[in-house]
Amino acid sequence: MKSVLVTGAGSGFGKGACLELANRGHRVIATTETVEQCEKLRKETPQLQVEKLDITTDDISKVSEWEIEVLVNNAGTGQSGPLAAIPIEKINQTFSVNVFGTLALTQKVLEQMLPRQSGRILIMSSIGGLVTVPGFGAYTMTKHALEALGRTLSAELNGTGIDVGIINPGPYNTGFNDRMAASMWDWFNDASLLSENTDMFKAVCGEITGNQIPDTADVEQLIANLVEADTIDQQNIIPPDILDNFGA
């Protein structure tokens, strides 16, 4: 049995992985961004220790109270829209959660892992960390940054007893991609730069949301397997052949 902290556990891969880990007998600390998400998850999953943890705030200080053997950095947000026109605050918010919040929490958890000389850090990247897609630049920029974070951290932690794994799922149907694809229409309109390419952006969004992989269980099981494994690969692409769909 291991003690595992999972961020972004209110839905999608995070919630599914928490349940899979709990079913395998691990102690799971499932965290959500808001109190409302936290209360909802507590009612739905009494087998989990559910905590509010907004990784962009001082909430991260509370992790010092928990023994954490494995950290699953799953919390994230998405934003679509052309980079020539996207409001810079949308970029800032996406980086704040996906990159800076992830690093801040990882640093906090390493404060207990390094003296113990053991632990595992798992980082939920995306296929978008390895390729780029028009209209999804804000999101893929953050995931490329997570690739650099994970690989650099792995090298820097070599010999400490702490390993790092990066997970790269394709477009699974968790609801995340649908929300991200729709987010640009809150601000992108006929008066925006590149509005003449609206049809192209709609087509790309439609392709992403219309070709999602329906069963998320493979990703949730992969996360649990990486928690349990004696040794792990640094890069974990799922499905293994998904890059072929992007010409990579």
Catalytic site residues?
139
Q: Which residues neighbour 114 within 8 Å (Cβ) at sequence distance 6 or greater?
A: 160, 162
Q: Helix %, strand %, coil % for the chain, to 5? A: 50, 15, 35
* Burial grade of 35 (CB within 10 A; 0-12, 13-18, 19 or more): exposed
DSSP alpha helix (H) spans, the chain? 12-23, 35-44, 88-95, 102-116, 137-156, 176-183, 198-210, 217-228
216, 224 Cβ separation under 8 angstroms: no
Our measurement of the distance from residue 218's CA atom to the centroid of its chain's CA atoms, rounded to an integer in Å, reads 16
Please give the span between the terminal C-alpha atoms of the chain, in angstroms, as a whole number. Answer: 38
User: Six-digit token pair at 225?
Assistant: 């397997």
| Alpha-carbon torsion, ordered 75, 120, 107, 113, to 10 deg | 140
